[in-house]
Amino acid sequence: MATGAMVTGIVSLLLAVVGVFVLPLFLAVPGGIAAIVLGAAGRKRAKNGAPGGGQATTGIVTGIVSLLVSAIWVALVVVLGAQFLAEFSDELAELEACIEETGDPDLCRDRFTEEIFEQLDR
């Protein structure tokens, strides 16, 4: 249990660090929780004389850190997404209207992209 907690915690922490790619983030959260649960069980066994107390503690700590890093990524994505929507809400409405009028999402997406880059260049 202790070794499993440590390995799961370390892998979850690595996945949380590269969580910007979203899929690893979805794996880091359950892995972090599993590392904490396994670590707690490993610590309980270590108190009863089984080896691996340090590994269990490592699993708990890395599991907690992976959850914290994942929470930071989620908060960052939410904040940046809200800022994007606030900044470009008019353009998004124009994009939707363009698609409804023309029925050509590729043309509208190209126009939208050009408008966004023009605003970013200012």
Q: How many other CB atoms sit within 10 Å of the CB of residue 42? A: 28
What residues contact 64, with CB distance under 8 A and at least 6 apart?
A: 32, 36
| 74-104 pLDDT, tens digit each | 899 899 989 988 888 888 888 899 999 999 9
Report domain extents, the chain: 2-73, 88-122
Residue 75 in contact with residue 82, Cβ under 8 Å?
Answer: no
Q: What is the torsional sign of CA 86, 92, 94, 96?
A: negative
Name the DSSP letter for residue 122.
-
Mean pLDDT of 12-40: 88
Mean pLDDT score of the chain: 90
- Distance, in Å, from the CA atom of 15 to the CA atom of 12, rounded to the nearest integer, reads 5
